[in-house]
Amino acid sequence: MRARSLTGWMVPVAAVLLWQVLGDAGVITTRVLPTPWQVLHAGITLAHSGELWQDVGVSAARAGIGFAIGAGTGLVLGLLNGIVPLASRLLDSTIQMIRTIPHLALVPLVILWFGIGETAKDFLVALGTMFPMYLNTYHGVRSIDPGLVEMARMYGLRGFALYRHVLLPGALPSILVGLRYALGVAWITLIVAETISADSGIGYMVMNAREFVQMDVVVLGIVLYALLGKLSDLAARGLERWWLPWRVTVGGEEA
Amino acid sequence: MIQTSEMTPAAVQRGAAVHLEDVRKSFNGHEVLRGVHLTVRPGEFVAIVGRSGCGKSTLLRLIAGLEQPDSGRVLVQGPPASDTPSGRGAAAPGSAFPVAQYAASQSGVRMMFQDARLLPWKRVIDNVRFAVGDSGLVGRRTAAEQAFQALDEVGLRDKAHAWPHTLSGGQRQRVALARALVSRPQLLLLDEPLGALDALTRLEMQRLLEYSWLTHGFTAVLVTHDVAEAVALADRIVLVADGKVALDRRVDSPRPRAKDAQFLRMEQEVLAHILGGQNC
C-alpha cells in the first residue's frame, strides 16, 4: 500500500523537477512560466508580509459562508422533498427548472444587484452548491430500501425516530457524494467570481499581480486554489470515513 | 413432548389471536384472495403453504397491517390482562382491534422477512437494541442488557459489535429473530425467513424458531413453500389455493419432530393437495 502511494507520486515529482530544470536552463522563459522555486519564493515573501494569509482567509470565508448557505438549503430541500411527497410534487420541478440555468451566467446580474462585495460572492457560491447537494440528498432518500422503512415502521418508528435511525443514515452516503461535489463547485465558482471582480481574496491578488506582470504570484494563486480545493476534498473524504464506517469498500481505496 | 394444547397457560396467554373473515384482496384487477376465513388461536403455530403467487404472502401482509383488505375483516386480538407484557404498547387486554389501529398502537406484531432487513449502518447490537428502546420507557442500560440477552438466545453474542454485512445469511436471520424477540412479540409473522438459507442452516434455524416459540409463547404464522418445514414446525398447516383456504390440517405429533413415517405421510398428503389443485 505504501509503496503503491509512492508510485503515484513519482510522475508529478518528476514533472516538477523537469519544469525547474527547463526553467533554469532557459528553455522555458520566466515570461511564459516562472520556475517552481520562484513560485515558492513568492509564496514565502507574501506569507511574511501577511498579504497571503489575508487573501486566503477572505477567499476561504467566502467559500465557507456560501457553501454553508447553499449546501444547507440544498440538504434541507432534498430531505423535505425526499420524505414528504407533497413537497416533492410542489417543489421538485421548479428546482429542476432553476437548476438548468448555469449559475455563472448570472455573474453580470449579480454584480448589478450586489456590487462586487461579499454578498455577490456568497450568493454565487450558495447558488452553485445548492443544486448538487439537493440532487444527491433527494436521490439518497428516495433510493433507501423500502423494505427497511417498512421494517422500521413495523417496529414502531415514526417521525423523527424514523428519520434519525433510517432515513438520514440511509441517505448519508449519497449526501456525502453531493457534499464533495458541492465543495468542488464552491471553489470553481469563487475563482470565476473573484477573477472577474473583487477587491480582496486570492482572485484579487492574482489579477493585481497580472497588472504588474508578476508571473510568480499569478501561478502561486493558481496553485493556492488547487491546494484549497484538494484540502476541502480531503476533509470531505475524512467525513466519509468517519460517518460511514459500515460501508464495504469494493476494490480498495481510490486515489 | 410438548404440544400446543398442553402448553403452560402462561406461555399461551402471551400470544395474540388472529381472525380473518371473508377477506378479499385484488391487485390490478386480479383477485388474489377470494374470501379467506381463518382463525389462529393464541400461542398457536400455523404454517401457510401453497404454490408461489397464490397469495400466501399477501395474506401475511394483511395480518401485519401492511396491506388493507378490499373487503372482509382482519382482527388481531391481544392476550388477556393477566399476562400482558407490561410497558411498551401491548394491545389493550382482551380487546379486538381492526388491524390498522392495532398496528398503529405499536402493538406486539412483528414480522420476519425473506431478507433479514438489518440496518446496514448499525452494528448487530444496535440493530437489536433499537427494537427495545424506542419507547423511552426502558433505560439505556436495561435496553442494552435485553439486547445482549436476545443475542445470547440466538447464539450471536460474540458478534454483537460486528457490522451486518460481515455476517452470513443465517446469522443475519438470527439477528432479525433476536430483534423480534427482544420486543416481546405477541404475534410473529414469518414470510419465508428461511427460504434463502442452505439446507443445514435452515434446519438449525428451524430448531431455533421452535425453541423461541416454545419459550416465549407468542403466536406464530409462517409462510413457507417448504412442506417439510411446515410439518416440522406447525400445529396446523393451512393450504392457500385459488384464493381460499383449501386445506386446514392439524399436526399432532410430539416435538421436536423426527422425520419418521408419520412425518413423511403428512408431508406427502399436503404435497398431494398442493399438486392436485390447479394453478392460481
Pick from A147, A155, A244: CB nearest B115: A147
Q: Residue B80: is its pLDDT beyond 80?
A: no
Q: How far apart are CA B261 and CA B258, in angstroms?
A: 9
For CA atoms B226, B228, B234, B235, give the dihedral sign. positive
Q: Which domains does chain B have, with CATH numbers?
A: 4-108+185-276 (3.40.50.300), 117-183 (no CATH)
Lookup: cell for A249: 469498500
CB-nearest to A155 from B66, B123, B183 is B183
How much is the average pLDDT of B23-31?
91
- Name residue A196's amino acid: I
Which grid cell sits at A124? 454565487
Give residue-wise pLDDT tens across range A196-223. 888 889 999 999 999 998 999 999 999 9
CA distance B123 to B160: 7
User: Vertex B260, ends B258 and B263: CA angle to 5°?
Assistant: 85
Picking from A148, A161, A245, the nearest residue to B119 by CB comes out as A148
Q: What is the dihedral of CA A200, A202, A204, A207, to 10 degrees?
A: 170
* pLDDT of residue A247 exceeding 90: no
For residue B193, is pLDDT > 70?
yes
Cα R_g (chain A), whole angstroms: 22
Please give the grid coordinates belonging to residue A21. Answer: 530544470
Mean pLDDT of all residues in B234-240:
95
Nearest to B134 among A150, A156, A172 (CB): A156
Closest chain A C-alpha to B153 CA, distance in angstroms: 20
What chain B residue is nearest to A160 in terms of C-alpha separation?
A: B134
> B119: nearest CA in chain A?
A148
Is some CB atom of chain A closer than 8 A to the CB atom of B66? yes
Those residues whose C-beta lies under 8 Å from the C-beta of residue B101, and which sit 6 or more positions away, are none
Of A27 and B53, which is predicted with more confidence? Answer: A27
* Confidence check: pLDDT of B251 > 80: yes
- Segments making up each domain of chain A, as ranges: 34-242
Contact between B110 and B160 under an 8 Å Cβ cutoff? The reply is no
For the residues B55-63, what does the mean pLDDT come to?
93
Distance CA A229, CA A186 (A): 9
* Residue B115 phi, psi (nearest 5): -95, 150
CA closest to A168 among chain B residues: B121
Give contacts of B 208-247 with A, CB under 8 A.
Answer: none
DSSP reduced 3-state for A108: helix
The verdict on a CB contact (< 8 Å) between B183 and A172 is no
Element (DSSP H or E) covering residue A178: helix A168-196
What burial letters (b/e) apply to B99-117, b meaning 16+ CB within 10 Å?
Answer: beebbebbbbbbbbbbbbb
Percent of chain B with pLDDT strictly greater than 70: 81
Residues of A in contact with B130 (CB under 8 A): 155, 157, 165
| Chain B residue closest in CA terms to A248 | B165
Tens digit of pLDDT for each residue in A29-68? 888 899 999 999 999 999 999 989 999 999 999 999 999 9
Q: Amino acid identity of B224?
A: T
Residues in A closer than 8 angstroms to B117, CB to CB, are 145, 147-148, 150-151
Nearest CB to B117 within list A151, A244, A246: A151
Instruction: Find cell 464506517 and name the residue.
Output: A245
Average pLDDT rounded to a whole number, residues B108-126 = 93
Is any Cβ of chain A less than 8 angstroms from the Cβ of B163?
A: yes
Nearest-neighbour CA in chain B from A177: distance (Å): 17
Residue in B113, B115, B134 nearest the CB of A161 = B134
Q: Which residues contact A127 (CB under 8 A, 6 or more apart)?
A: A70, A103, A106, A189
| Pairing, β B71-77 against β B17-27 | antiparallel
Q: Which residue of B has its CA nearest to A150?
A: B66
Number of A–B residue contacts, CB under 8 Å: 50
pLDDT at B101: 44
Write phi, then psi, for A101 (nearest 5 degrees). -80, 120
CATH class label, A34-242: mainly alpha
CB proximity list for A89: less than 8 A, separation 6 or greater: none
CA distance A194 to A197: 5
Cβ proximity of B202 and B168 under 8 Å: no
Backbone angles phi, psi at B132, to 5 degrees: -90, -50
Which chain B residue lies closest to A249 (C-alpha atoms)?
Answer: B165
In terms of pLDDT, which residue wins out, B80 or B77? B77
